[in-house]
Amino acid sequence: MAPALVLGPLLRHVGETTATIFVQTDGFATVTVETAGRQWAMPTFSAYGQHYAIVLIDGLQPGSVQPYTVALDGQQVWPESDSAFPPSKIATLDRSKPARFLFGSCRTSVSHDKEGNKKHGVDALRAYAYDMAKDPSHWPDFVLFLGDQIYADETSPAMREFIERRRGLDEPPGEEVKDFVEYAELYRLAWSDPANRWLLSTLSSAMIFDDHDVRDDWNTSHSWHVEMNKKPWWHDRIVGALASYWVYQHAGNLDHESLRADPIWQVIARHTGPEELDLTALLHDFAERVDRDPKTYRFSFTRDLGESKLIVIDSRAARDLRPEHRAMLDEDELAWLDREMVGGEEHLFIGTSLPFLLPTGIHDLESLNETMAQGDRPRLAKYGEQIRQAVDLEHWAAFESSFKAVSKMLMEVASGKRGKAPATISFLSGDVHNSYINEVTETSQPVESMIIQAVCSPIRNPLPPHVRMLQGTLSGWMGGPMRRLVKRVSGVKVPDYQWKTTHGPWFDNNLASVEVLGSRLLFTWDRGEVHDGKYDDPQLVRVATVLMD
């Protein structure tokens, strides 16, 4: 039987003359990508019985837009002959063109019918795909997914059916994902809807994980880590999570030079035998090592945007959870960020799944909780830890040393001490299931850059109405009382600069975009709506437009 695509193609990193295509197949095959009159071929490799290829394309023209095809063992499999969508294209980086890209986080993968939309709302990514298909004249450059691309701990009916067939729901961890094979099915369900599959084939993507890609509150604290490692199923889970993350998400984030320096890719590139390369043991050892010592590998990455730069920070796996060294970023990761946080760009974008600048009241609440949980009074520390895990108090504010260190870098860049200050420095984040803009309003030293926190969450996973109301209320009125409280509590650090929420919050399922307009930035948030039961024709509707100048 001829080989077939299971997933993809996904268009991943795209540079000035290069592109990366990811596919998953149902067996060993040679994958050939053809574009601009040339071909690039790569044999699949296997992992845990699954089959993949990552095809590196080079020698393209800068600023070009070319359709491409994919063949398996010489038989074209993409585009599909009966597709209702336009041909997939590769658009290389055009340095003369200002950047415009999408960002967002938190997307559940359930059906797109009446039942699925009733529980989870309309998928904003899918609505964007249909809108792109109708109007190809103004497509964005790429989409940045800021965590929770998949939910390994809150599975869909389709995923639970797969688990039931494979091992039964009574076997721990029950309805949650157990290992690499189940992660593979989770990704298939997340990326195989025809509209989303087409969008991912023609719009370059960058990705970073957050907690639900592994499990709620992943790496919240040392106590959490100790408790999880006591569970007999956790080892298979974390190994499957990290190994599959490298395959499905991380490898495609890297430019070709960085990927060729990657030790896993080097094994793939060196393989010349007639049989399919099996990476199972290598990925297994890799995942165990990274979980044991995050300093052995870096998931953070950067992306060249032409006149601007994007830094994407791993704020989950790179944590130092030792109580006496508690940090969002371990020392090696922090040193890497210190090297990357420089001026000289028109705009600097920093992607981090967890918002760096929360609403001020919530920021102070998390700082206060960290002081409790890390204090030397055992009963108070235990209570603080319970609160931390119960209500997810584990953002940057809850890792005071890291917040302070990154704030120092931020102010140095904004004041021109690390090269010419960018016009804007924007943190782009998700996670919190509401969207907003915070803007730094007062600093202890003169700065030349506008400093922004823009959040887009969820793409598809709305909060219940009563939780929305509570969160919106707390975000609004908590600021003043909490700041007065923390100033009176010994050990709680108060930031030496101020910010406020200038736009939002919005609680819609939505997808945000940011467009460079000279020294200004235009942010938009869009949601999907279904009318008259037309579930395969969702309409893209504007939620908000914000011009930052």
Residues in the chain: 549
Q: 506-541: per-residue pLDDT in tens? A: 999 999 999 999 999 999 999 999 999 999 999 999
Domains of the chain plus CATH, in order, are 98-548 (3.60.21.10)
Cα–Cα distance measured from residue 518 to residue 537, given in angstroms and rounded to the nearest whole number? 35
Q: 144-159: per-residue pLDDT in tens? A: 999 999 999 999 999 9
Question: pLDDT at residue 332 above 80?
Answer: yes
**Which pLDDT score is estimated for 529?**
97
Question: pLDDT at residue 470 above 90?
Answer: no
Ordered alpha helix ranges (H), 355-436 = 360-373, 378-390, 400-414
* 491: nearest Cα among 380, 397, 379, 370: 370
* 4: nearest Cα among 73, 69, 83, 68: 73
Q: Which residue has the higher pLDDT, 453 or 393?
A: 453
Question: pLDDT at residue 381 above 80?
Answer: no
DSSP code, position 293:
-
How high is the mean pLDDT of the chain? 94
**Which pLDDT score is estimated for 328?**
96
* 69: nearest Cα among 43, 25, 38, 42: 38
Question: pLDDT at residue 389 above 70?
Answer: yes
Question: pLDDT at residue 482 above 90?
Answer: no
Buried b (16+ CB within 10 A) or exposed e, 255-291: bbeebeebebbeebeeeeeeeebebeebbbebbeebb
Residue with tokens 């060249």: 304
Cα–Cα distance measured from residue 448 to residue 422, given in angstroms and rounded to the nearest whole number? 8
Ordered alpha helix ranges (H), 425-539 = 465-477, 479-486
Question: pLDDT at residue 385 above 70?
Answer: yes
Residue with tokens 């990455």: 301
Q: What whole-number percentage of the chain has pLDDT above 90?
A: 85
* 255: nearest Cα among 540, 12, 72: 12
Question: pLDDT at residue 474 above 70?
Answer: no
- Dmax over CA atoms of the chain, in Å, equals 72
**Which pLDDT score is estimated for 465?**
77
Q: Which helix (H) or strand (E) holds 436?
A: strand 435-443
Cα–Cα distance measured from residue 189 to residue 156, given in angstroms and rounded to the nearest whole number? 9
Query: Across residues 179-197, what is the average pLDDT?
Result: 98
Question: pLDDT at residue 393 above 90?
Answer: no
DSSP code, position 246:
I
**Which pLDDT score is estimated for 486?**
74
Question: pLDDT at residue 425 above 70?
Answer: yes
Q: Which two tokens stand for residue 11?
A: 């268009």
Query: Across residues 4-28, what is the average pLDDT?
Result: 98
Query: Across residues 32-39, what is the average pLDDT?
Result: 97
The CA-to-CA distance between both ends of the chain, in Å, stands at: 58
The angle at the Cα of 223, spanning 218 to 226, to the nearest 5 degrees, equals 80
Query: Across residues 475-484, what is the average pLDDT?
Result: 75
